[in-house]
Amino acid sequence: MSTDVEDDESDEAQLFGDAEWNELADSEFPHFFSERDGRLYQAETASSPYPLPVDTPENKRHRRLHNALRRLIGANYIDPVEQILEGANKLTIDLGCGTGQWIMEMAKKFPHVFFIGLDIVPIATRYPEENVRFELHDIGERMRWADQTVDFIHARSIFMTVPDYSVIIQEAIRLLRPGGLFLSGEWGQFPAFHPTFPQAVGPPSAHVPGLDRFYRRLQEVLAARGIISPVASTVHERLVASRAFTDVQEHIFYMPIGPWSPDPEAQTLGLLNRRALTELMNTVRPMFVAAGFDEAYLETLYSQCWTEIFKVSGLVSIYYLVTARRS
């Protein structure tokens, strides 16, 4: 005799897939990490080129940015996400889920939707919501789901996880059902001013030469590691050029750097973002050293950057949020 419980379990099995679900033993966790410069990174044997740490300080930085971004946008998503997730048996995949904060909050908001978070290291919570599962996977590789079986794919701040962002788009094209949604969110990797400031018209190097040089050096270091950048400002045109999506929409958000705005909420966001940016700069400094930049050069560069970050008004981080419906 069929019951509602049995029907629910059948739906869950169908949407989550038939993978073996074995919780990692504590003794297995160290195999996914390696220690360098006093920080934890993904294991050196991992295929992903991701160069940043995956330890507690870095997770705190991501959490701080997540909370600030949710306040800036007003939610963890924009239209047409609610429309896409209406009805039963909907499947969402979060690429590069990290600790799982976004996916856990979304799972509470949409308890009827099944969520799967993918990451190459086991740093997500071990106590997920009932409609959430976390899975170890290199998102640069083909995923285990069949063609056209996913309703919503979320990809935030993942451009460093793959050599070329095009592999993410191609896999989204394969996985999404017709009408399914791809949502990309990436931070611009360059200095910028809020559009209301006159400095936004000219080249950043004229106003913040230190930050301009920092981001140029970062792009060089990432390129040497096989990571193509910048990506954020190109996602919209990549999706359009694929001819596999309709209603491709780009939404641009400006996150203040520092408390220069007269608006109290913007001041709070600016302080959070400035702290996250300084933490990121300190995090990537060993990458510069490994690439051959000497300490004297870096000391001068970083000193100039700190002065600009703390003294120059109008600085922002630009967040590019792009939505696209599968044709």
The most distant pair of C-alpha atoms in the chain lies apart, rounded to whole Å, by: 75
Contact 166, 237 (CB under 8 A): no
Peptide bond connecting 80 to the previous residue in cis, omega within 30 degrees of 0: yes
Q: What is the pLDDT of residue 2?
A: 44
> Whole-angstrom distance between the N-terminal and C-terminal Cα of the chain?
40
Q: What is the pLDDT of residue 13?
A: 53
- Amino acid identity at 5: V
**pLDDT truncated to tens, each residue of the chain (327 aa)?**
444 544 555 555 555 555 544 566 667 778 899 999 899 999 988 889 999 999 999 999 999 999 999 999 999 999 999 999 999 999 999 999 999 999 999 999 999 999 999 999 999 998 899 999 999 999 999 999 999 999 999 999 999 999 999 999 999 999 999 999 999 999 999 999 999 999 988 898 999 999 999 999 999 999 999 998 889 999 999 999 999 999 999 999 999 999 999 999 999 999 999 999 999 999 999 999 999 999 999 999 999 999 999 999 999 999 999 999 999
User: What is the token pair recorded at 205?
Assistant: 């190097």
Contact 146, 176 (CB under 8 A): no
Q: Domain segments of the chain: what residues?
A: 4-189+226-255+318-326
- Amino acid identity at 34: S
> Per DSSP, what are the bridge partners of residue 182?
153, 324
Q: What is the pLDDT of residue 308?
A: 98
| 87 phi/psi in degrees, rounded to 5 | 90, 180
Q: Which of 184, 155, 188, 156 has the alpha carbon at shortest distance from 257? A: 188
SS3 of the chain: the string is CCCHHHHHHHHHHHHHCCCCCCCCCHHHHHHHEEEECCEEEECCCCCCCCCCCCCHHHHHHHHHHHHHHHHHHCCCCCCCHHHHCCCCCEEEEEECCCCCHHHHHHHHHCCCEEEEEEECCCCCCCCCCCCEEEEECCCCCCCCCCCCCEEEEEEECCHHHCCCCHHHHHHHHHHEEEEEEEEEEEECCCCEECCCCHHHCCCHHHCCHHHHHHHHHHHHHHHHCCCCCCCHHHHHHHHHHHCCEEEEEEEEEEEECCCCCCCHHHHHHHHHHHHHHHHHHHHHHHHHHHCCCCHHHHHHHHHHHHHHHHHCCCEEEEEEEEEEEEC
Contact 207, 312 (CB under 8 A): yes
Does the CA dihedral 255-261-263-269 come out positive or negative?
Answer: positive
Q: What is the pLDDT of residue 5?
A: 41
Topology of domain 4-189+226-255+318-326, CATH: Rossmann fold (3.40.50)
Q: To 10 degrees, what angle do helices 264-290 and 209-224 make?
A: 50
Q: What is the pLDDT of residue 44?
A: 87
Spatial distance between the Cα atoms of 238 and 168, rounded to a whole number of angstroms: 11
Does the CA dihedral 222-41-290-311 come out positive or negative?
Answer: positive
Q: What is the pLDDT of residue 262?
A: 97
Spatial distance between the Cα atoms of 92 and 39, rounded to a whole number of angstroms: 32
Spatial distance between the Cα atoms of 205 and 27, rounded to a whole number of angstroms: 50
